[in-house]
Structure 1
Amino acid sequence: MEETISLQELFATLKKRLGLIIGTTIVAAIIAAAISYFYLTPIYQASTQILVNQEQVEKQSFDSQDIQTNLQLINTYNVIIKTPAILSKVIENLDLDTTPAELSNQLTVNSEQNSQVVNLTVQDPESHKAVDIANTIAEVFQKEIVNLMQVDNVNILSPAVYVEDPKPVKPNKELNVAIAAVIGLMIGVGIAFLLEYLDTTVKTENDIEELLGLPVLGLVSPISRKDVNTATDAPQKGSSPHVKKAHI
């Protein structure tokens, strides 16, 4: 016999396990808040921009080949910035306790499409160190590119600056709590339906019909203890409530 579940039954299940659902949501949000505020290390970010100048040529216009050459030059610079040839000197200048590979993971280099501006973004647990690393990378790259590429066409456009009250870029504490609350809600709903599915006790006449496959002919109303006591204390027919039995 195929079983069907109506929306009324779904809402009844959710209402029945509402305390469980709310509890799992609150617990998940509290755990996420505790981890975000007390265990995760705040990460700060600093950015600087460098400008790659186009070579001066006598012709007045650029053809598509010139544009493609400039874009390839920008992409080449983006790769060179993250190489040990640049980052090793940065580590040496700042006396950092890290490796070029680890420092490369803290660095993000990108440029807008068809743009000569390259953005350098550094993330670090210390805000002032992120600023120092970003500016030092730009300065070292500006000097070393002369030896590496035999060109002097890099200028620092916008250096990173110190902020009095810096705000970490991650973790996003509010977002973590919100995501955890949603996950907790989903877990609570899942547990509620799982408990309802595993509950095989017979509660209603519909359960009996589904279990036995037979129609219910009648129901016996529940009798409370108060009704039983009232029926027991009631005087029997033909007897007087004032007559007492004599003791022999």
Structure 2
Amino acid sequence: MYSELDKDEVINEEIIDLAELFRSIFKHIRLIIFLCLLFACGGFFGTKLLITPTYTASTSIYLTPQISESGSLDYNSQMANSKLVTNAVNLLTQNNIMSEVAKDVGLESASSVKKLVTVTNESDTEIITISATTTDPKLSKNIANDTVSTFIRTMQKNLNVRNIEVVDKAKLSYIPSGPNVKKNTLLATMIGFVIGCGYATLRFLFDNRLRTKEEAEKYLGIPVFCEIPEL
């Protein structure tokens, strides 16, 4: 077990080591800043020039609650409508729907369309949002709208469900939804910062030089009688 004096010495050594480490990192601050700027430029221009922009078009449908014969909305009707919403989220991307959409928009297969479509249900609502993301804004709009129209037509024909209304049709937008230039630039900057700090840390850890009188005494095991000042 360490004595109280030994513990103090260990703590002091750790503090000195950390202080030396931070000083070593600060000595390489120019390199760290250079790497941050270099990687930031790489992330920005790489995103702008090398990654194809994508466009997202969204449309929403609303499943209106079915009114009972008495003209009121009872609990059973609400529960049935909630289950219908859950089923609709899953049915929208089934192969029979996606196959029809693929034929209409000129894509190869249902799987190729399914990869481009995202279906979400806003919590505690009967509103379902269908989004399509592609590299062509017109194609995104056509996929989103055709998915909804095909789904409504299929539900009316096969299940006699007629309480689905289109809230908002997908519109043509030439504003890219991705990639996120700011996010990629920030991530690249952080990578440059980590690499710069890592380089400075490794230089410090593998530096075996005796930098102070105390380190020389500890390493050699003999006292230092004199030292030459740095001119």
| Amino acid of the structure 1 residue aligned with 2:88 | Y
Q: What CA distance in whole angstroms lies between the structure 1 residues aligned with 2:89 and 2:158?
A: 14
Quote the residue 2:40 is aligned against: 29
Match of residue 157 from structure 1? 167
In structure 2, the residue matched to 1:38 is 49
1:214 aligns with 2:225: no
Change (3 A) 1:131 1:61: closer
- 1:81-96 to 2 correspondence within 5 Å? 81-96=92-107
| Structure 1 counterpart of 2:212, one-letter code | T
Paired residue for 1:202, among 192, 210, 222?
210
2:192 maps to 1:184: yes
Q: Tell me if the contact between 1:106 and 1:122 (Cα under 8 Å) persists in the aligned partners.
A: yes
- What residue is the counterpart of 2:59 in the other structure? 48
Instruction: State the TM-score, normalizing by the size of structure 2.
Output: 0.86
Cα 1:10–1:134 shift into 2, 3 Å: same
1:105 aligns with 2:115: yes
Q: How many pairs align?
A: 219
Q: Which amino acid aligns with 1:136?
A: D
Given that residues 20 and 192 in structure 1 are in contact (C-alpha distance below 8 angstroms), is that contact kept between their aligned partners in structure 2? no
Cα 1:150/1:9, change in 2 over 3 Å? same
31-40 or 52-61: bigger deviation: 52-61
Match for 1:194: what amino acid? L
Question: Is the 2:105–2:139 contact (alpha carbons within 8 Å) kept by the matching residues of 1?
Answer: no
SS at match of 1:215: coil
Unaligned runs of 5+ in 1: 225-248
| Counterpart-to-counterpart distance in 2, 1:179 and 1:34 | 13
CA distance in 2, matches of 1:210, 1:58: 94
CA deviation after TM superposition for structure 1 residue 192, in Å = 0.4
Gaps of 5+ in 2: 1-8
User: Deviation at 1:53?
Assistant: 2.1
- Computing the radius of gyration from Cα coordinates, the structure with the larger value is 1
Which secondary structure state, in structure 2, belongs to the residue aligned with residue 22 of structure 1? helix
Contact 2:60–2:130 (Cα < 8 Å) also in 1: yes
Q: CA deviation at 1:183?
A: 2.1
Please, which of 118, 135, 138 is the counterpart of residue 148 of structure 2? 138
Residue 21 of structure 1: how far off its partner (Å): 1.5
Q: CA RMSD in A?
A: 2.0
The percent identity for this pair of structures is: 25
Measured in 2, the distance between the counterparts of 1:177 and 1:82 equals: 34
